[in-house]
């Protein structure tokens, strides 16, 4: 019994040690930062719309309304399979125009099914019209027609580059050996008048042994004719045909129209 005070003292020390250990185990340590491992904070979420799309001219409310009016006009006035349409800004005002291409009968008025006119043999005549929205209403501002007869031969294309969309009109005409080659690249103003971007012309006389100047000097201009044709062809190669019917000097018939390939196997 004489060792009992020492046992009680030892028991009290053990209890104190256990209490201190439990307190340390339940305590949550505060976060610390070191130069090697800094405390990270959440970054702001990136903007879901970095650019306001309505600032784009192609998607402004006015241009959307403009396109809807043109699309409705085409649906209401043209039958499926009888006309092809293209929507492009030919007036360079930020709003599209509507280009409509049709193949016509001999009377130059009756539309034909496009699937029935897929080659130069079946072609009689064609028509291209351009419509624009003016003061809220759709109005025609431009028209061209071509025909299989010589006087109606015509080539007109849709050309685009970094400055916009244009019509390219190429008519290398010849009558009884006298040639008048001309091409014009142009956009349209609000009234449908041509705004010329580039134009070139060349006149000459075709003879059995080549091409000579139209001024009566007899000068050989064959190289000049070739150079002119190369300039025109450079535009054609970057363009989409709208209305094309033409016979070359070597007898080749050029025929095409907007999206003709869609009807080749109809």
pLDDT of residue 38: 39
pLDDT tens digits, residue range 112-167?
999 999 999 999 999 999 999 999 999 999 999 999 987 789 999 999 999 999 99
pLDDT of residue 12: 45
pTM: 0.75
Question: What CA–CA distance (Å, rounded) separates 148 from 101?
Answer: 16
Distance of CA 30 to the CA centre of its chain: 62
For residue 127 the two structure tokens come to 């028509």
Assess whether pLDDT exceeds 50 at residue 23: no
- Would you list the domain boundaries of the chain? 56-263
For residue 145 the two structure tokens come to 């027609």
pLDDT of residue 228: 94
pLDDT tens digits, residue range 55-85?
334 557 778 999 999 999 999 999 999 999 9
Q: Which long-range contacts (CB under 8 A, 24 or more apart) does 167-176 make?
A: 167/90, 167/242, 168/235, 168/236, 168/239, 169/144, 170/232, 170/235, 170/236, 172/229, 172/232, 172/246, 174/206, 174/249, 175/150
Question: What CA–CA distance (Å, rounded) separates 65 from 69?
Answer: 6
For residue 24 the two structure tokens come to 């340390």
Contact present, 85 and 114 (Cβ < 8 Å) = no
pLDDT of residue 177: 84
For residue 13 the two structure tokens come to 């020390």
Q: Transcribe 199-236 into DSSP letters.
A: EEEEEEEEETTEEEETTSS--B-HHHHHHHHHHHHHHH
């Amino acid at each position: 019994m004489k060792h009992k005070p020492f046992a009680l003292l030892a028991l009290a020390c053990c209890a104190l040690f256990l209490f201190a250990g439990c307190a340390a185990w339940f305590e949550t340590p505060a976060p610390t930062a070191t130069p090697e491992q800094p405390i990270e904070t959440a970054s702001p979420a990136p903007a879901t719309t970095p650019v306001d799309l309505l600032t784009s001219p192609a998607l402004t409310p006015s241009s959307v309304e403009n396109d809807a009016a043109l699309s409705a006009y085409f649906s209401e006035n043209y039958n499926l399979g009888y006309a092809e349409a293209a929507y492009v800004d030919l007036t360079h005002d930020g709003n599209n125009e509507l280009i409509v291409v049709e193949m016509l009968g001999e009377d130059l008025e009756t539309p034909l099914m496009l699937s029935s006119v897929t080659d130069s043999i079946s072609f009689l005549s064609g028509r291209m019209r351009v419509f624009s929205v003016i003061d809220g209403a759709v109005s025609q501002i431009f028209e061209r027609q071509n025909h299989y007869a010589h006087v109606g031969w015509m080539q007109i294309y849709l050309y685009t580059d970094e400055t916009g969309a244009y019509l390219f009109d190429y008519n290398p005409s010849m009558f009884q050996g006298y040639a008048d080659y001309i091409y014009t690249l142009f956009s349209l103003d609000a009234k449908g008048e041509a705004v010329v971007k580039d134009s070139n012309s060349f006149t000459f006389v075709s003879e059995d042994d080549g091409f000579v100047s139209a001024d009566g000097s007899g000068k050989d201009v064959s190289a000049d004719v070739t150079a002119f044709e190369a300039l025109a062809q450079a535009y054609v190669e970057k363009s989409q045909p709208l209305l094309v019917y033409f016979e070359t000097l070597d007898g080749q018939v050029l025929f095409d129209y907007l999206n003709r390939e869609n009807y080749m196997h109809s």
